[in-house]
Amino acid sequence: MSIAALVAWLVTAVGGFYMLGTWMARGGASREGSSRLPVPVIFGHFLLAATGLVVWVVYLFADTGALAWTAFAILLPVALLGFVMFARWLAVTRTPAVRTTQGAPGAATPDTPAEHAFPVPVVLGHGLFAVVTLILVLLAALQA
């Protein structure tokens, strides 16, 4: 169970890194960039998730139940921040793309939020694996 949680966490992290890189490359973290995702929420989600992953790896080596529960406790605000970002992302994806002066539908403009470029399968996969990770960590903590 513990190793399955680690694998699910790593798969989740890969999707998260992809979205973070896309968001930053499109100017999400810059003042000039357009984003509906607050920078503190994005980086808080990332830093808490990374911290929880480190705690989980330490738990795998130390086999201390308190570390498993600590990792689970860290995952709770990570999930909350993730739900906040998902809700804000949904609002962005439901907004029709603005046409450029050339008339190409769906083309990015300076007003297009950076998170509009997130591929739907990556967002859904990240969320699905995050839920699986949370459940596996809880089950492993209960057994610890």
pLDDT grade for 100, boundaries at 50, 70 and 90: very low
Selected residue with higher pLDDT from 104 and 15:
15
Asked if 134 contacts 49 with a C-beta cutoff of 8 angstroms, the reply is no
The model carries a pTM of 0.85
Selected residue with higher pLDDT from 36 and 51:
51
For 126-140, what is the mean pLDDT? 97
Q: Which residues contact 8 (CB under 8 A, 6 or more apart)?
A: 129, 132, 133, 136
pLDDT in tens, 109-121: 556 788 888 999 9
pLDDT grade for 35, boundaries at 50, 70 and 90: confident
